C-alpha cells in the first residue's frame, strides 16, 4: 500500500458489512496464511476488485475473505483517519490516479534518497 501505508505502520481494522465497503476504502483480507491491505477499486457482484496502491495488478477478493475496513493508520505516534468525510473523498481520488503509482513511486523514492543524501550526507 505504499506510499500511503508503510512497513511498521499500525492499521486499525473494523469489521464492516460488505454492503458498507465503498470504492476507495482500504480493506484487510485474508488468503491462506497471509493478510493483505488493499484498496477497493471496483465491485464485481459480491466480490471486490482490490489493488495495492503501488502495484500494477489487481486481485478479486470474495467478501468472505474480508476481515474489515481500515479506519485509521498510526505511524510513529500520529494517527491518520481513513473514515472521515475528507478521507473518503481522498481515497476515492486515489483510485483514479492509482494506475500511475507503479510508474511514479520508484522515481519518488529515488528522489527522496537523493534529497536525503544531499541534506544529511
- Give mean pLDDT, residues 109-119: 91
Q: Based on the structure, what is the number of domains in the chain?
A: 1
Q: Cis peptide leading into 3, omega within 30 of 0?
A: yes
| Distance separating alpha carbons of residues 66 and 35, to the nearest angstrom | 10
% the chain with pLDDT above 70 = 100
Asked if the structure places residue 54 within a domain, the reply is yes
pLDDT band at 72 (very low <50, low <70, confident <90, very high): very high
Find the domain containing 101 and state its range: 10-120
Is the residue at 1 inside a domain? Answer: no
**Beta-bridge partners for 59:** 50
Answer whether residue 42 is part of any domain.
yes
Q: How confident is the model at residue 69 (pLDDT cuts 50, 70, 90)?
A: very high
Query: Is 5 among the domain residues?
Result: no
Whether 2 is covered by a domain: the verdict is no
How large is the average pLDDT for residues 4-18? 93
- Residue 55 within any structural domain of the chain: yes
Counted residue by residue, the chain has a size of 121
116 within some domain: yes
Residue 3 belongs to a domain: no
Amino acid at each position: 500500500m505504499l506510499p500511503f501505508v508503510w512497513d511498521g505502520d499500525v492499521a486499525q481494522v473494523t469489521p464492516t458489512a460488505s454492503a458498507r465497503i465503498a470504492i476507495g476504502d482500504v480493506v484487510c483480507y485474508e488468503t491462506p496464511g497471509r493478510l493483505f491491505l488493499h484498496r477497493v477499486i471496483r465491485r464485481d457482484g459480491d466480490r471486490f476488485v482490490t489493488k495495492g496502491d503501488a502495484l500494477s495488478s489487481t486481485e478479486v477478493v470474495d467478501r468472505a475473505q474480508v476481515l474489515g475496513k481500515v479506519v485509521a493508520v498510526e505511524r510513529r505516534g500520529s494517527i491518520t483517519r481513513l473514515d472521515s468525510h475528507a478521507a473518503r473523498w481522498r481515497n476515492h481520488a486515489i483510485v483514479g490516479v492509482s494506475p500511475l503509482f507503479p510508474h511514479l513511486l520508484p522515481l519518488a523514492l529515488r528522489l527522496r534518497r537523493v534529497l536525503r543524501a544531499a541534506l544529511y550526507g
